[in-house]
Structure 1
């Protein structure tokens, strides 16, 4: 059975963006193939294995597509992909697009609990995963999960080393003869990729995107940062499997005929080396990564070739970081407000630091070729006049189709006419500039990565020494926020932070979601409404007054 993916936007509206040229109206593989034919030997990928041109990449794509087709992968099937940044991840993306299948990428390092949830709800028929990456053995772990996933037929093991018993080596599929392969031609408004966002839900959200929404809407986002429209050379510090990373294969390669510069994991030293050696035009990352790079540059005094833009999203970009980054990299620093749910706005190439005023952070002018943005009343959802603060809603060419297997999320976050409710608070000024002033959602953003306190609380509640627990974010100069667990012990023995983290690991929660602070309390304080007083707990952890109801500055939304 294939999971149902329906489009919550009116079909006529989708078609109007094709008619006016906003969207290319081609599937992702056809777009890539046209770029390959136009420039056979242009560099497509630079990674740890070296340089790969468009023609060599296309041959690998056709080989893998042939192998996957022979395994029974059909149009509309969902296939999970858990691979580090590198050519294999790109080959998988394009091969699935050529088959008309739907890619479900999720980053390496995500725990088995979350992987099982994603694959089960998406009814994935196969998954491509690493044999080993930085201590993680995802292929073996996913093969162990297979009996609990009735739709899953194949686990494909990628990378060096011996494929676990019962899995299919990716290397064998890449040796298939592509001579007879004929790509599918899926409808450009059909599903191409599922983006994963933890958001504020206890389980990760999955958001279905069409070919046009990726290559068209998200493609227009990158086009707005290409002043000469020359093919870009994009260094991705973030995983290609993230929402921000969805600007890789479909956008940088297929839409714009550019080059991907990839590292299989981020370190500030490797990132600086990549900038120095490969001269990217665009660097895409989160502020925490750039702060780490700036620290290294202080000690070395190196001068770097100036990119066109440093594009930062995922968490708050403070003025000091932006100013120092603009000086060190010699280019505009673009402050990106965006998320997997379908919102995008950025400050553009005209300034080097984000502007701010007493009411919030300036996010830039919405681009209707990407996503139109309006402000709605938080209770009635009716549109508000310019200058009024309310919930930010978005709709445009990049708007996703729907949430996957989650009609409750469709009802909660989508309006009847297709607008996306972001859960963020903001206003549009008289000049049409978007300002962010707060957020409705309870989410901790650590170094640009989302952590749902509800998910961590649910797993910690199963610890034998925990009677009650609340998780909150506490400010941190490096990571933006870190997670703290506020625990009421269930017995005379008190759990330690190490024991709580070991418990989370055992239950399949990856390390990035583990709390880094522990507060032991006799009872949880309650608000007048009878709910746990998170602000009061945060105050005890930081020793500072509770935050005001309307903070002066807030992190930008999850990912690009």
Structure 2
């Protein structure tokens, strides 16, 4: 089966497999555009709070008005259906306004990782073909330094008290004056299940980021899955502190909260003390987090006494969740619900229901209601029986139709039956619960045996005095590859390789035990909270050279 995702400047139709069973195939075009939903709330509940934010809150009426005004500015600047609109900055109201304005025009929103270095930023802008960028101060210099791509309109956010600004000079234009003078764009593009909504570049921990096309239908079906599996209610408040340019933070609860008319407490970044205060002050019911965020919360002195009674739906993903953290949070009445997925699955393919948190500790859960998950043989692709380890494959309406203008990568990721090959290794237990073992590319072959770094990391997650733990393989003359553990320890603590091996031996075979130990101040992680294994291996190689 050939699948191509290449939407040229003319916005020509894509060739992609039909999404079976949704109303768009019946001849009636259903509008699932999030901008349409926000406009509806603005009409019937204009004074209801949409977003709580340190730079100033917005009601649904105000949010819709700003998005409609920005849509006019973008349209006047040449943006039309199918064009890409980029955003570069931290979590903010302007992020949401830009996204909704793009949706209103039928354009494709491109949220950019604000931690990208110059060449990476250049690559993302060039490959996305974005003709417009909305940017925060602090990032425009990086954009100015980038060449080799076209940007016909550069808007600088200059009206957010949380974002310090300097005088705006050409080619940049301060967006506040433009928004004030603009007439709200009256129309909203009708978007159905197959229309592209977001172009999101993967974090690139295993190589050059790929542009993942996510349709309005991908986002919608993920939301349906989440609502069927989690305790999500009308009128809820969700908390967003993880970076919104990552699909886990954006499409777990935030995008759906806007569609449902719920309230979002939006923070520019994660701060443990502020987060605990927010949970109590705003009676937060749901949130998405990576494990390191809840590890920081659990270590905070206020964690023991914070009012967390409203917190019902906590999805933790992006990295394996240490069992010790799951048990610690359970003692405080918080059931961490581990999920598994990728940008390509928008984001969740599996989820561990709250009632199974302790009984199936360490599991990434069961398939989402409208998503199929299999574990297959890595060589021939046949489904494997329970407990056998293989590659995890996914199929469903939440799965991307493919990679932006990259037919080779798209064809390589999907097999002839439409299964997306994740590159993750795992197994299903006898009850059908998924357990993640590791990334296929991170697997270490030591002395002819397969060693999965994530399995070693889990065994060392509760290592005394360890603040953060990562495991990689390095070339070894005797073993082919050697297992190396990299540990950030608590201030003043000391740790030896013998102590690490003794602790790991409680749950691991001897051939999996680390042969080297490196102590560091902190481990490199990307903005999604995942360990950056490329940087870890590079650092080790530099030390040896």
Query: 1:493 matched to which residue of 2?
Result: none
8 Å Cα contact 1:348/1:364 also seen in 2: yes
Could you list the per-position Cα deviations for residues 376-420 of structure 1 after superposition, in whole angstroms to 9, with x for gaps in the alignment?
221112333445432110011211121123333213222233321
8 Å Cα contact 1:94/1:249 also seen in 2: no
- Taking structure 2 as the reference length, the TM-score comes to 0.77
Q: Following TM superposition, by how much is the alpha carbon of 1:252 offset from its aligned partner in structure 2, in angstroms?
A: 2.6
Distance, in Å, in 1 between the alignment partners of 2:411 and 2:510 is: 27
8 Å Cα contact 1:437/1:551 also seen in 2: no
Q: Does 1:294 align with 2:298?
A: yes
Query: 1:413 matched to which residue of 2?
Result: 413
- Taking structure 1 as the reference length, the TM-score comes to 0.75
Query: 1:355 matched to which residue of 2?
Result: 360
Query: 1:155 matched to which residue of 2?
Result: 154
> Quick one: which of 28, 42, 45 aligns to 1:39?
45
Cα 1:87–1:78 change in 2 (3 A) is same
Distance, in Å, in 2 between the alignment partners of 1:268 and 1:155 is: 34
Superposition pairs for residues 11-160 of structure 1, below 5 Å? 11=18, 13-16=19-22, 25-131=31-137, 137-145=138-146, 147-149=147-149, 151-159=150-158, 160=164
Could you list the per-position Cα deviations for residues 297-322 of structure 1 after superposition, in whole angstroms to 9, with x for gaps in the alignment?
35773333431122211112122211
SS of aligned partner of 1:152: coil
Could you list the per-position Cα deviations for residues 187-218 of structure 1 after superposition, in whole angstroms to 9, with x for gaps in the alignment?
4311100122224432112210001111x222
Query: 1:271 matched to which residue of 2?
Result: 275
Distance, in Å, in 2 between the alignment partners of 1:276 and 1:381 is: 48
Q: Does 1:434 align with 2:440?
A: no
Q: Does 1:368 align with 2:319?
A: no
Cα 1:111–1:481 change in 2 (3 A) is farther
Query: 1:453 matched to which residue of 2?
Result: none
8 Å Cα contact 2:254/2:264 also seen in 1: no
8 Å Cα contact 2:277/2:306 also seen in 1: no
Cα 1:539–1:276 change in 2 (3 A) is closer
Cα 1:538–1:93 change in 2 (3 A) is same
Distance, in Å, in 2 between the alignment partners of 1:61 and 1:437 is: 43
Superposition pairs for residues 195-214 of structure 1, below 5 Å? 195-214=200-219
Could you list the per-position Cα deviations for residues 150-198 of structure 1 after superposition, in whole angstroms to 9, with x for gaps in the alignment?
x322222114422343212122332243345322224431110012222
SS of aligned partner of 1:45: strand
Could you list the per-position Cα deviations for residues 127-168 of structure 1 after superposition, in whole angstroms to 9, with x for gaps in the alignment?
21111xxxxx211220221x321x322222114422343212
Could you list the per-position Cα deviations for residues 55-108 of structure 1 after superposition, in whole angstroms to 9, with x for gaps in the alignment?
110000001111011110111111211121121111011001001111110232
Structure 2 regions of 5+ residues with no counterpart? Answer: 1-7, 159-163, 445-456, 488-495, 514-524, 531-545
Could you list the per-position Cα deviations for residues 269-294 of structure 1 after superposition, in whole angstroms to 9, with x for gaps in the alignment?
11112112211110211111111112
Q: Does 1:308 align with 2:312?
A: yes
8 Å Cα contact 1:225/1:309 also seen in 2: no
SS of aligned partner of 1:314: coil
Q: Following TM superposition, by how much is the alpha carbon of 1:335 offset from its aligned partner in structure 2, in angstroms?
A: 0.9
Distance, in Å, in 1 between the alignment partners of 2:12 and 2:415 is: 17
> Quick one: which of 330, 336, 340 aligns to 2:339?
336
Structure 1 regions of 5+ residues with no counterpart? Answer: 132-136, 445-471, 487-523
Distance, in Å, in 2 between the alignment partners of 1:549 and 1:378 is: 25
8 Å Cα contact 1:84/1:108 also seen in 2: yes
SS of aligned partner of 2:114: coil
8 Å Cα contact 1:5/1:191 also seen in 2: no
Distance, in Å, in 2 between the alignment partners of 1:436 and 1:551 is: 17
Query: 2:195 matched to which residue of 1?
Result: 190
8 Å Cα contact 2:364/2:434 also seen in 1: yes
SS of aligned partner of 2:101: helix
Across the two proteins, how many residue pairs are aligned to each other?
472
> Quick one: which of 241, 251, 257 aligns to 1:253?
257
Q: Following TM superposition, by how much is the alpha carbon of 1:551 offset from its aligned partner in structure 2, in angstroms?
A: 7.5
Cα 1:271–1:115 change in 2 (3 A) is same
Could you list the per-position Cα deviations for residues 484-512 of structure 1 after superposition, in whole angstroms to 9, with x for gaps in the alignment?
898xxxxxxxxxxxxxxxxxxxxxxxxxx
Could you list the per-position Cα deviations for residues 216-265 of structure 1 after superposition, in whole angstroms to 9, with x for gaps in the alignment?
22212331354363243110121111121221687333432222111112
Q: Following TM superposition, by how much is the alpha carbon of 1:45 offset from its aligned partner in structure 2, in angstroms?
A: 0.3
Q: Following TM superposition, by how much is the alpha carbon of 1:539 offset from its aligned partner in structure 2, in angstroms?
A: 9.2
SS of aligned partner of 1:400: coil
Distance, in Å, in 2 between the alignment partners of 1:301 and 1:83 is: 34
8 Å Cα contact 1:222/1:251 also seen in 2: no
State the structure with bigger RCO (CA 8 A, min sep 6), 1 or 2.
1
Distance, in Å, in 2 between the alignment partners of 1:539 and 1:59 is: 50
8 Å Cα contact 1:128/1:157 also seen in 2: yes
Could you list the per-position Cα deviations for residues 339-387 of structure 1 after superposition, in whole angstroms to 9, with x for gaps in the alignment?
112152111222443725xxxx422111232x21112221112333445
Cα 1:37–1:253 change in 2 (3 A) is farther
Superposition pairs for residues 470-549 of structure 1, below 5 Å? 480-482=468-470, 525-526=476-477, 533-536=480-483
Root-mean-square deviation (CA, aligned residues, Å) is: 3.6
SS of aligned partner of 1:374: strand
Distance, in Å, in 2 between the alignment partners of 1:348 and 1:366 is: 11
Q: Does 1:221 align with 2:220?
A: no
Cα 1:442–1:6 change in 2 (3 A) is farther
